[in-house]
Amino acid sequence: MNRIDELKLNLRFLAPQGIALAFSGGVDSTFLLSVLKELHDEASFPLLALTMQTVFQPDNETEAAKRQTAELGVKSEVFSCDPLALPEIRSNPPDRCYWCKRKIFQTFLDVCRARRIAHLLDGTNADDSHVYRPGRRALKELGVLSPLASLGFTKQEIRELSAERGLPTASKPSMPCLATRFEYGAELTPERIGQAGRGEAFLRTLLPETADVRLRVQGKNARIEVSPASFELMLKNRAAIAETLHELGFEFVTLDLEGYRSGCYDKNLTTEV
């Protein structure tokens, strides 16, 4: 039995009662949705993709998610909420992701109940168990299922299988929410989040489509994280970068010599759920 068949076997037990997938349009959820669609074509069952638009996601990511569901031929619904209305999120504590995930997935569960869909899934993968992910605790408490993680699918494996399936997200860079650009304890506001998002979006225009980049906000300063291979490109465009980021309100602009590091603010935090 190959890995896709193993995943389908797992999903087939859930399908008759209906499945909704929390869908971001990223690598993991797009792969999982493509497998769900294949299963749906083999034996029809209630299938729905649910996307949440918040201040933490760029608008183009929501539009990309809508395109993906349309191309796959899966019914989808997009919702919106204001996570900053919760002090537990706005104050940006280390467990911010727990409160945000709980708010979003509770909304999705309410939708599932209204649609008489029994199972809510997400695209968490096996690698997520080795890094700080407080949102996983919320998923566990709410009964959300993570089949990719349960079956040991790693991010690299998902990328390889996505490429085999011709999915456009196979080489898409990870796009975690914009709240991760800020140090814990730094208050999150729409203005500051927008500043970080616009600055990072500009940096992406200078880099290859598959390159990782983060614009970390530290006080009034911007710290750019890219892979060392992209340093030369950043320095070549340093005048334009400095001008653009200054116009956005940053006082100092720096290039981090350690390079891109996923979850750099989480390095001293536990991975336990």
Residue 259 clears pLDDT 70, i.e. is over it: yes
269 pLDDT band (50/70/90 cuts)? low
Pair 81, 104: CB distance under 8 Å: yes
Domain ranges of the chain: 3-164, 178-266
| pLDDT bracket for residue 266 (50, 70, 90) | confident
Task: Give the span between the Cα atoms of 56 and 83, in whole angstroms.
Answer: 9
pLDDT value at residue 175: 84
Amino acid at 245: L
Is pTM beyond 0.85 here? yes
Give the pLDDT confidence of 76-118 residue by residue, as tens digits: 999 999 999 999 999 999 999 999 999 999 999 999 999 999 9
Per-residue model confidence (pLDDT) at position 268: 63
pLDDT of residue 273: 46
The tokens describing 139, both together, are: 């998923």
> What are the beta bridge partners of residue 120?
20
Is the model's pLDDT at 137 over the cut of 50?
yes
Give the whole-angstrom CA distance, residue 178 versus residue 237.
23
The answer to whether residues 193 and 180 touch, using CB atoms and an 8 Å cutoff, is no
CATH number for region 178-266: 3.30.70
Q: Which CATH superfamily is 3-164 part of?
A: HUPs (3.40.50.620)
Would you state the structure tokens that stand for residue 209, as one six-digit string?
Answer: 């489509």
At 2-58, the pLDDT tens digits run: 999 999 999 999 999 999 999 999 999 999 999 999 999 999 999 999 999 999 998
* CB count in 10 Å sphere of residue 81: 16
Report the percentage of the chain scoring pLDDT > 70: 97
Residues 229-237 have a mean pLDDT of 97
